[in-house]
Chain A
Amino acid sequence: MPLELHEETANLIGVVTVDEVEQLTGWLRTAKRPKVGLRRCNHLHTGALQALLLFRPKISSAPSDAFLATQVLPLLGVSGGPANKQGSDPP
């Protein structure tokens, strides 16, 4: 199971496919202060990435996957920014 959802923390494991997007989004909607661990995540579906970008959960652990760590994590690392922050250039 690529999603391990707890009350305020979630771990994404392996390949997160489009099938998990709805569940993940639902969890992000309800969790008050969501924290997401990406350590064991190998790939995120675009929909999952989009949800993370919208809800901006705190990222509790960095992915070990090279692509996610170098290209995707910087996008998520910006915490606390307004949801409609424009642009995506890393600061």
Chain B
Amino acid sequence: MNPLLSQFLAEANDLLASVDEGLLQLERVPGDPELVNEVFRAAHTFKGSSGLFDFPELTRLTHAAEDLLDQVRGGRLALDSGMTDDLLAAFDLIRGWLAHVTAHERLPASAGNDAAGLITRLRAPLGGEEAGPTSASAGPARVISAAPQWLAWFDAEWLTETAGWLATTASTLRFVWYTPDTDCFFRAEDPLHLIRQVPALDKLNVVQPQTWPTPEEYDEYACLLSFAVATRAAVGELEYLFRYVPDQIEIVELDADAITRHLSGEPPLHVEEPVTAAFVPMIDSELAADARAVLHAAHRALTMEGVVTEGTRLRSVRHAVTAAAGALGVPVALAEAGPAELIEAVVRLAGEAAPAPVPAAVAVEPVERREERADERRADDPGGQVGTRVLKVDQEKVDRLMELVGELNVAKNGLTFLADAAEEEFGSRVLSRRIKDQYAGLHRIAEELQAAVMDVRMLPLSVAFGRFPRLVRDLSRRLGKTIELVTEGEDTMADKDVIEALGDPLVHLVRNSLDHGIEPSDERVAAGKAPAARLTLAAVADGDAVIVEVSDDGRGVDPERVKRKAYEKGLISEEELETLSDSEAVDLVFRPGFSTADQVSDLSGRGVGMDAVRASVEKLGGAVTMKSKFGQGTYTRLRLPLSMAVTQVMVVSVSGQRFGIPVDLVVETVRVPVAEMGRVLHQDVVMMRGEVVPVIDLARVLDMPWAPGEGEDRRILVVSVNGQRIGLLVEAFHREVDVILKPMEGLLAYADEFSGTALLGDGLVLLVLNMKEVLGLAARVA
């Protein structure tokens, strides 16, 4: 399945759930603006995402639901249980469709029919503009015979003249009736600006509200004007001009007959007082519908027990009723009215606003609707499955699970000690064997459990690589270089902690490549390379490690320049300047404080780059190496453990105390006869395969009372730190174990020589050494 679609389905599930929940809550707390907003947002997101796919019915249905919710949100409509039922039914239908989509990647064939009824019902409370007779008359380019009522806004004399002219020339004229939404200014619409763009404008009538609000109540951001326009422009031109406000305009094309019939057929409309008589119904339909909705809502709010009692709410209801009364043209004074008087006023107003179709319909419809719905899906229907089940789990919960797996491992390892004790202390070999059998079973389950939890934490490298296409694009444009980014092995999996921690080092490396490594196109062409540089990000799994490589085909690192810079900055001595090999020189870029950039740019060159990369990768238990061929490119390789949750350590002991050393660092373990130990410049050394390896006495470094026995073979653990081999003199070697490393916290936080602690199977605490710090400590002790 298209990954976009599967993501949509997964999100849809969440959205549907939040819509359902929101609607149900709304029924309990009607009119809570937060809740309405929440449901609206969910519906809106739904509509937006559904537009990405070819599901027109889905988009139409969500659009209808969104429109209804928008009205509710704007306070123009009170949500009643009938509407809630319709909305729930709409989203249930959507859920059914999406289940079908999950299985077949298309909507069911019946979708259009199913949706049509619901869309009509959802639109009904909005006044059902679709069904209105007026819009039917606003058909496409055809001469209609019936003149609309709003033609009365035009001056009768002018109409007569125009009709005469049209009759003589047998032509037609287009009339536009434009009633901008009251809140259209907020959508950056300027109706007058649209009007002035009308080509060949013949006559403009700006229709002002029947009653202006008082200057104090006047809201300068509510559009109260309407426009009646006569123009010689074609219907097509007008439709194009008003294409963004199709629901606010009405276009008719009239000939002389239609106008004459209008003039003669409705004579009172255009003599002395045409406006009032003709336009009360019109304004009524526009404004009074809103007003009635407000009154209806106010009535509900007032009659509901305990909703409107205290000051603020009462004031707001009072305000709403006053405004509605104003809109209906029957201003009332309610300044100090209490709830009872308000109810009375509302009832009176509702009566005066006589033909009140909206509240009546609302009151009646729910009953019919419920009956209709008897055959529809019930809430307790099992329903289909939308998308594959994806659980969103808090990271902390997964971490906690991992911790528990660690504890389980420790507890499990305790059984081997118990088995030994059963045999040795209680002399029962049978019991010992049975415990060991139990242990084997438990061990298998624990391993599987651990693997399963680790798997949950695994993420593909594409998560870490995802930000680079954009980054490379932006930076390459800024630097004026042409760069092609290639990513390989994005589906390699690694632990989420590794992926997260990988982000910054990778950004550093990529930036370095872009800024220093890759040359501008002209320089590349001059060097005989393709003008577009190639930057490769590649990931590959290597046993229990993951290798990430950043390589470019840029100018590479100039070893001479690096050496000179390092010398200038005092990072290397004069001898080193002479003796360092090219590959060692390249490694100098990882030295703290090193920078080859002559100028500090905003991208890199502050001298905090590569050593920061090395430090953060090493903190993850990984390693960085860089290889470069001058003039041909640079290649940086990060090697990281697949998982940081479990660390493999080698256990050694000194003076009876056990310590762990990360296995990654261990090169070999050797036993050396005393006679082969040497001493150079106060430093114990051992010759191994022609190489002098310094040996550090771990007991002395850690201040532990232990000295090797006279004439006994020395046990030396050789580790590799920063590419340097160092031997550790220890008392005894033990086995390798997988441990879950816990960082040093609280009172021990200062102890830098340990990177963490781990619990061993027999209940002992193992301190894991931080080799870098231990070496530093050794240098100070010596």
Residues on A lying within 8 angstroms of B by beta carbon are: 17-18, 21-22, 25, 28-29, 43-47, 49-51, 53-55, 67, 71-72, 75, 83-90
- Bound-state Cα–Cα, A86 to B210, Å: 6
Q: Does B196 lie at the interface of the complex (its beta carbon under 8 Å from any beta carbon of A)?
A: yes
Looking at B199-207, B351-359, B549-557, the stretch in contact with chain A turns out to be B199-207
Q: What is the CA–CA distance of A18 and B596 in the complex, to the nearest angstrom?
A: 55
Interface size class of B (residues with CB under 8 A): 20 to 34
Residue of B nearest to A15 (CB): B193
Whether the pair A50, B224 counts as a contact (CB closer than 8 A) is: yes
Docked-complex contact A54 and B206, CB < 8 angstroms: no
Most chain-B Cβ atoms within 10 A of its Cβ — which of A45, A46, A47? Answer: A46
Q: List 12 A-B contacts (CB under 8 A).
A: A18-B188, A25-B220, A45-B185, A45-B193, A46-B191, A50-B225, A51-B218, A71-B195, A71-B196, A85-B208, A88-B206, A90-B155
Closest residue to B210 on the A side, CB-wise? Answer: A86
Is A46 a contact of B212 with CB atoms below 8 Å? no
**In the bound complex, what is the Cα–Cα distance between A88 and B154 (angstroms)?**
9
Cβ-defined contact, B208 with A21, below 8 A:
no
Question: In the complex the two chains form, is B207's CB within 8 Å of A55's CB?
Answer: no
Chain B residues positioned under 8 Å from A55 (CB to CB): 215
Q: Which A residues lie within 8 Å of B211 (CB)?
A: 84
| CB contact list, B206-259 vs A, under 8 A | 206-208, 210-212, 215, 218, 220-221, 223-225
Question: Looking at B188, B204, B220, B275, which has the most chain A CB atoms within 10 Å of its CB?
Answer: B220
Let me know if B180 and A46 touch, CB within 8 A: yes
- Given the interface pairs A54-B215, A67-B196, A88-B207, the reply to whether A46 lies near B190 with Cβ below 8 Å is yes
B223 near A46 (CB under 8 angstroms)? yes
Q: Is A46's CB under 8 angstroms from B205's CB?
A: no
Q: Is residue B2 contacting chain A, with contact meaning CB distance below 8 A?
A: no
Closest to B215 in A: A29
Is A88 in contact with B201, judged by CB distance below 8 angstroms? no
The reply to whether the CB of B312 lies closer than 8 angstroms to some CB of chain A is no
- Within the assembled complex, what's the spacing in Å between the Cα atoms of A90 and B224? 19
Q: Are B221 and A47 in contact (CB under 8 A)?
A: yes
Nearest 10 interchain pairs by C-beta: A25-B220, A46-B192, A87-B275, A71-B204, A46-B191, A67-B196, A83-B212, A88-B206, A86-B275, A89-B155
> B601 within 8 Å of A by Cβ?
no
Contact B210–A18 (Cβ < 8 Å): no
Which residue of chain A has the shortest Cβ distance to B195 in the bound complex? A71
Q: Residue B206 contacts which of A18, A29, A67, A75 (CB distance < 8 angstroms)?
A: A75
**C-alpha spacing A85/B205, complex, angstroms:** 14
Q: How far is B207's CA from A34's CA once the two chains are assembled, in angstroms?
A: 23
Known: A86-B210, A87-B275, A89-B205. A45 touches B215 (CB 8 A): no
Instruction: Report yes or no: A43 in contact with B201, Cβ–Cβ below 8 A.
Output: no
A85 CA to B155 CA, complexed, in Å: 16
A29 to B224: give the CA distance in the assembly, Å.
Answer: 18
B276 neighbours in A (Cβ, 8 Å): 86
Q: Are A47 and B223 in contact (CB under 8 A)?
A: yes
B479 to chain A, nearest CB (A): 39
Residues of B within 8 A of A (CB): 153, 155, 180, 185, 188, 190-193, 195-196, 201, 204-208, 210-212, 215, 218, 220-221, 223-225, 274-276
A43 to B194, CA, bound (A): 11
A47 to chain B, nearest CB (A): 6
- How far, in Å, is B151 (CB) from chain A's closest CB? 13
Known contacts A50-B225, A84-B212; A45 and B192 CB within 8 A of each other: yes
Q: Which residues of A are found within 8 Å of B275, using beta-carbon distances?
A: 86-87
A51 touching B225, Cβ below 8 Å:
no
Which one of B155, B185, B215, B224 lies within 8 Å of A18 (CB-CB)? B185
Interfacial chain A residues near B220, Cβ < 8 Å? 21-22, 25, 47, 50-51
Contacts of B224 in A (CB 8 A): 50
How many Å lie between the Cα of A44 and that of B206 in the bound state? 14
- A53 CB contacts on chain B under 8 angstroms: 206, 208, 225
Complex Cα spacing A71 to B218, Å: 24
Q: List chain B residues, Cβ under 8 A from A51.
A: 218, 220
Interface centre among A43, A54, A90 (most CB of B within 10 A): A54
CB distance from B272 to the nearest CB of A (A): 11
B274 contacts which chain A residues (CB < 8 A)?
Answer: 87
How far is A51 from B188 in the complex, measured between Cα atoms in Å?
Answer: 17
Distance in Å from the Cβ of A27 to the closest Cβ of chain B?
11
Assuming the contacts A71-B201, A83-B212, A86-B210, asked whether A43 and B193 have C-beta atoms less than 8 A apart, the reply is: yes
B223→A50 contact, CB < 8 A? yes
Extra inter-chain contacts (16) besides given A46-B191, A46-B192, A88-B206, CB under 8 Å = A18-B185, A22-B220, A25-B218, A28-B215, A45-B193, A46-B190, A46-B193, A46-B225, A47-B220, A53-B225, A71-B201, A84-B211, A86-B208, A86-B210, A87-B207, A90-B155
Closest chain A residue to B223 by CB distance?
A: A46
* B215 / chain A contacts, CB cutoff of 8 Å: 28-29, 54-55
Interface core residue of B185, B208, B276 (most chain A CB under 10 Å): B208
- Rounded to whole Å, the gap between the CB of B222 and the closest CB of chain A is 9
**B residues less than 8 Å from A86 (CB atoms):** 208, 210, 275-276
Minimum CB–CB distance from B310 to chain A (whole Å) comes to: 32
Q: How far is the CB of B149 from chain A (nearest CB, A)?
A: 14
The answer to whether B201 and A54 have CB atoms under 8 Å apart is no
What is the minimal beta-carbon distance from B550 to any residue of chain A, in angstroms? 49
A56 to B204, CA, bound (A): 19
Task: Give the distance in Å from the alpha carbon of A53 to the alpha carbon of B215 in the complex.
Answer: 12
B194: nearest chain-A partner, CB-CB: A46
Find chain A residues with CB under 8 A from B210 CB: 84, 86
**What residues on A are CB-neighbors of B191 within 8 Å?**
46
CA of A36 to CA of B191, assembled, Å: 22
Q: Which residues of A contact B190 (CB under 8 A)?
A: 17-18, 45-46
Q: From A87, which residue of chain B is reached at the shortest CB distance? A: B275
Contact A49 B212 (CB under 8 A): no
